[in-house]
Amino acid sequence: MKTLTIAATFCVVAASAAVADTPARVLTQILPTAKQYPNEAAAIATLNENGFKVQYNSYEGLGLSTADGLRLVSDNAFNITSVQIGTAARDDAFFEGLDLIGVSPDMESLRTAVDAYRDVFDARLRERFGATVLALWPFGPQIFYCNAEIGTIEDLAGLKIRSFTPSMSALLESFGATPVTLNFGEVYPALQRGVTDCGVTSPTSGNSGAWPEVTTHQLPLSVSGSVQGIFANLGWWESLTEEERTTISDAYAKLEDQQWVLASEINDDAVACNTGQESCAEGTPFDMTLVEISDDDRTAVSDAATTVVLPDWISRCEATYPGCTKIWNDTVGAARGFTASAP
């Protein structure tokens, strides 16, 4: 019998016997309170049941920063690492092209963008960081939690707002807000103490993280999907047998599909729970004020994506990866109807 070793905050999962144990060090962002956790726990259990001795730890449990995710997998400190794509963009702007703020505002359009970009994303990841993609999936629509009275997106002007990607910061600045870069776990106390006025995350993450306890207004205007990447160190990956790689690929492909379904199905309920509606079924009920989204709000975000977000991203991407504009235009741009122009 093999054991799945998990950080102190994680539960222990029993695994069945297999022919041989192959060690696998896995680092995750997902906490047990998250709706996405059971799917990842099931994937890890599958690996253990098929001959892997998995050491499964969280960034939070080890006191690590998610900003270091790419370097941790590149150095093979962990064989498999979960990375927030917007955070990874600080190491290489090209990766953020997958989920630029305002370009893919719903889960259907986002999946189209992700599918279009996956191959070029993986090629860059292999070349730049010696890693390969196992899964790409979103937490869900990224919306606004504010401890301030807002009625439209224009009311964000003058507010301090949590941001976690460079393109999100560019969008917020275009609306007159001040972006404050924070990891998810830092946001609740920042909102509580007035370090920030608003935070951006998915309805489910905000609900499970109790953000409505320290915010009053919910603007459910999606600006991105917070895509997560699960990457394997390439050297470690190539050291495995074909059968082992197939086992891992299948487990994470199933996880990816499950997380996309989850992102598409549970967020309306979370908004209902955050705002105290009777239809709340799965989340914790709160009593935030629900701000109605206007067509002008949607147009403002779409316009900012073209006039602010894309030019900002192109300048950063071309500086380290000349020619990335054409790659993006041929993939995400073509799939989503955007055309970026290099400066």
Cα–Cα distance measured from residue 306 to residue 11, given in angstroms and rounded to the nearest whole number = 45
Say if 253 falls within a structural domain.
Answer: yes
Same domain, yes or no: 37 and 149? no
Side chain identity, residue 64: L
- Going by their DSSP bridges, the two strands 160-163 and 178-181 should be labelled as parallel
Do residue 74 and residue 49 come from a single domain? yes
Q: Are 63 and 127 in a shared domain?
A: yes
Q: Are residues 161 and 53 in the same domain?
A: no
125 and 158 together in one domain: no
Distance CA 201, CA 225 (A): 9
Q: What is the pLDDT of residue 4?
A: 40
Whether 12 is in a domain gets the answer yes
Residue 21's pLDDT is 82
Handedness of CA 99, 101, 102, 105 (dihedral sign): positive
pLDDT for position 6: 36
Residue 20's pLDDT is 56
Q: How confident is the model at residue 280, as a pLDDT?
A: 95
CATH of the domain at 87: 3.40.190.170
Contact predicate 225/104, CB 8 Å: yes
**CA triplet 312, 316, 317: central angle to 5 degrees?**
110
The DSSP output letter for 177 is: -
Q: Please, what is the end-to-end C-alpha distance for the chain in angstroms? A: 59
Residue 190 and residue 250 in one domain? no
pLDDT tens for the chain, 343 residues long, are 333 443 333 333 333 333 458 899 999 998 888 889 999 999 999 999 999 999 999 998 999 988 899 999 999 999 999 999 988 888 899 999 999 989 998 999 999 999 999 999 999 999 999 999 999 999 999 999 999 999 999 999 999 999 988 889 999 999 999 999 888 889 999 999 999 999 999 999 999 999 999 999 999 999 999 999 999 999 999 999 999 999 999 999 999 999 999 998 888 899 999 999 999 998 999 999 999 999 999 999 999 999 999 999 999 999 999 999 999 999 999 999 999 887 6
* 127 and 103 assigned to the same domain: yes
The encoded tokens of residue 323 equal 């020619």
Q: What is each CA distance from 174 to 21, 142, 184, 303, in whole angstroms? A: 53, 17, 23, 11
| Residues 103, 214 within the same domain | no
Shared domain for 133 and 22, answered yes or no, is yes
Q: What's the pLDDT at 2? A: 36
Q: What is the C-alpha separation between 70 and 83, in angstroms, rounded?
A: 7
Range of the domain at 104: 2-138+226-265
**pLDDT score for 343:** 65
Q: Are residues 242 and 165 in the same domain?
A: no
Q: How many residues comprise the chain?
A: 343
127 and 52 together in one domain: yes
Count of domains observed in the chain: 2
pLDDT at 65: 87
For residue 34, the model assigns a pLDDT of 86
Residues 153 and 117 in one domain: no
Tell me whether strands 131-138 and 217-219 are parallel, antiparallel or unpaired.
Answer: unpaired
